Copies of this chain bind each other. A is one copy, B any other.
Amino acid sequence: MNERLWTFEGTTQAIGQFRIVDTRAIVGAGLPAAGWLRVAQGSDIAQPDGAFRLQGIVSNERYVTRPERNELVATQRLIGRPEATVGALIPIKKSAAWWSLTQDERRAVFEERSHHTALGLTALPHVARRLHHCRDLPEPADFDFLTWFDFAPEHTSLFDELLVRLRETEEWRYVEREVEIRVERVPA
């Protein structure tokens, strides 16, 4: 199994590491209600009849330049810090119009006009993020990307503000489905 593959499983019994505190359809259809979210490296699943199962794979970055990556690497934190007890899984599907753009056109929308990386940097180092790609999996996926965030509860408003600002961008006009799943870690 490719070690960059991750599975996010919405479960109806308390077998996930996270309790789902809110699920919201932002654009398009939502996801079935689930009480817990289980996050697993690889394709391992615990509850085959669970509410939903989303998979994605961590890949090389598609847009950032060297100076942007240097700034990200200097500032970003890995998912899983002990104090990061809350988080969000945000599955997104972009439109056919997005995927028909060429690389330079997508980059221009993503950064020069929407400032995606620059906006993300405003939430660092407090909000950690891991991006997973789903569009090119052998089984067709309902989403193109799964982004997984975690942070300490006191940085919730910083994260909320980031989502508001991203959703106002030109890039987000290409989002045709988005679901926001808020979680809190189940105490060990």
Contact = CB atoms under 8 A, between A and B. Distances in A.
A188 B32 CA distance: 50
B103 A62 contact: yes
Contact of A64 (B2, B62, B102, B139): B102
Contacts of A4: 136
Contacts of A133: 136
A69 B103 CA distance: 10
Interface string A62-95: 1111101100000000000000000000000000
A55 B2 CA distance: 14
Interface string A9-52: 00000000000000000000000000000000001000000000
A66 B137 contact: no
Interface residues of A, number: 31
A96 B59 CA distance: 12
A118 to B, nearest CB: 16
A43 B140 CA distance: 13
A140 B69 contact: no
A121 interface: no
16 contacts: A1-B138, A2-B136, A2-B140, A4-B136, A5-B138, A43-B138, A55-B138, A59-B136, A61-B102, A65-B103, A66-B102, A66-B105, A103-B107, A136-B136, A137-B137, A138-B138
Given A2-B136, A59-B135, 7 more contacts: A1-B138, A3-B140, A57-B138, A62-B103, A65-B104, A66-B104, A103-B103
Contacts of A1: 138-140
